[in-house]
Amino acid sequence: MILVFGSLNIDLVAQVPVIPGPGRTVLAPSYRTHFGGKGANQAVAAARIAGPGRVRMAGRVGRDGFGDSAIENLRANGVDADLVVRADEPTGCAFITVDQAGENAITVASGANMTASAGELPAELFDSDTVLVLQMEVPVAQALEVARRTTLAAGTVVWNLAPVPERMTREIVTELLAVTDHLLVNEHEALDAADAIGLAPPSYEAAAADLARAGDLTCIVTAGAQGALAVTAEGTRLRAPAPRITPVDTTGAGDTFVGAFAAMISEGVLLQRALEVSCEAAALKCLKAGAQTGMPMRSAMGSLA
């Protein structure tokens, strides 16, 4: 069973002629509403690969229409949403403006996500078959507690260190590495994490090796068109190429990789194959617009045919 403990957001996207500066107002002809939050994104991606009933989402939404929609969307994508709790705070929301050149400015109101609690998860969730997926959009202390409970039950922890917090301390990274089996980062996140614990690697490849040794874990780095690199605690390096594509929209590609990777780990496949499948899933997502709407179903995956 794949358990995702993380964020659920509603994204409001407006196309504008120019991103407004302080004290300025611009008009947009309309706006689009999308489902988001890294936790929900990764849960949907995992469910589309693993299949209905294999993924459970835990987190918080508000007692509002956005919360209703977020839960309905999870269920429509085959994700068990019974562990999503209603909070007094509003559902998390991202306000996104995109200008004519494709540049964007994003303001995220975390809302109910900041009240997510490990204490709401029943003990029977955790056993040796549990694959826990975590990110950095809910309180770190709560995510760490869920990770510890998973580790004590001999489950597997997949932690996507994104987005990197503004103040990522040595203590946070050290505690995170201690309870993680698979650390997923991009090139910049790998370097930031290594820097936080006092290392100074010259490249993201070296950072991955340093983090793998420091945490006695496997570090996976996603590198866009360069594919993915995995480094084990023993120093073994595996690479998977990214399929050659002409991307339409890269939004959600990283979350798609994480969800597909969790699905493969839950099926017990070898690490090399997990990397290859995850790279394919992320590439297929880039061929369609939208984060969750572009995430591939298992039937579209050539590597899983």
**Which residues contribute to the annotated binding site?**
9-11, 37-41, 137, 186, 222-227, 249, 251, 254-255, 285, 288, 290
Q: Please name the residues in contact with 258: beta carbons below 8 A apart, sequence gap of 6 or more.
A: 42, 45, 133, 135, 158, 160, 184, 278
Contact 38, 255 (CB under 8 A): yes
**Collapsed DSSP state (helix, strand, coil) of residue 11:** strand
Supply the DSSP symbol for 17. Answer: S
How far is Cα 253 from Cα 33, in angstroms, rounded to an integer?
Answer: 19
H/E segment holding residue 60: strand 55-62
List the catalytic residues: 255
Tokens of 275: 């990397």
- Cβ-in-10-Å burial (0-12, 13-18, 19+) of 97 comes to buried
Q: Which residues are annotated as a binding site for ATP?
A: 186, 222-227, 254-255
Q: Which residues are annotated as a binding site for substrate?
A: 9-11, 37-41, 137, 255
CA 162-61-39 angle, 5° bins: 25
How far is Cα 257 from Cα 255, in angstroms, rounded to an integer?
Answer: 5
Supply the DSSP symbol for 146. Answer: H
Contact 254, 135 (CB under 8 A): no
Find, among 58, 208, 86, the residue nearest to 143 by Cα. Answer: 58
Contact 73, 102 (CB under 8 A): no
Tokens of 116: 């997510």
